[in-house]
């Protein structure tokens, strides 16, 4: 995606214990991306990501009994393709994220 649209100017995230902060910090510096943190306990400051995480959890992680990491990765990739290319999003005027981006929206 970065080859097509470029890198973002900044990203917002929490810095929770599951986060691989040193790798993300290195990536951000290499690509000149400003890395900003939300306040602890304020997930609404990163609402789009929190919404996507909830949807993924409900559609994949809560919907299947997963037997392996490879099965989980395969289902995640299938879901991500569907989410970006096939599933209209109400917040994007009922376009898919790819259609929205191709229309020149950011």
Q: What is the pLDDT of residues 2-24, one digit of tens each?
A: 777 788 899 888 776 665 677 88
80 with 52: CB under 8 angstroms?
no
* C-alpha torsion 10→52→22→9, nearest 10: -10
Length of the chain as a residue count:
106
Q: What is the pLDDT of residues 23-73, one digit of tens each?
A: 888 889 999 999 888 888 888 888 878 888 899 999 999 999 999 999 999
105 CB contacts (<8 Å, ≥6 apart)? 92
């Amino acid at each position: 995606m970065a080859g097509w649209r470029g890198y973002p100017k900044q990203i917002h995230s929490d810095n929770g214990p599951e986060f691989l902060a040193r790798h993300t910090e290195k990536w951000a510096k290499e690509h000149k991306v400003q890395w900003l943190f939300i306040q602890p306990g304020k997930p609404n400051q990163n609402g789009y990501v929190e919404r996507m995480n909830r949807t993924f959890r409900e559609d994949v992680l809560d919907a299947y009994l997963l037997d392996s990491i490879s099965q989980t990765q395969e289902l995640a990739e299938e879901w991500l393709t569907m989410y970006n290319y096939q599933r209209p999003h109400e917040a994007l005027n009922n376009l898919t994220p790819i259609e929205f981006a191709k229309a020149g929206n950011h």
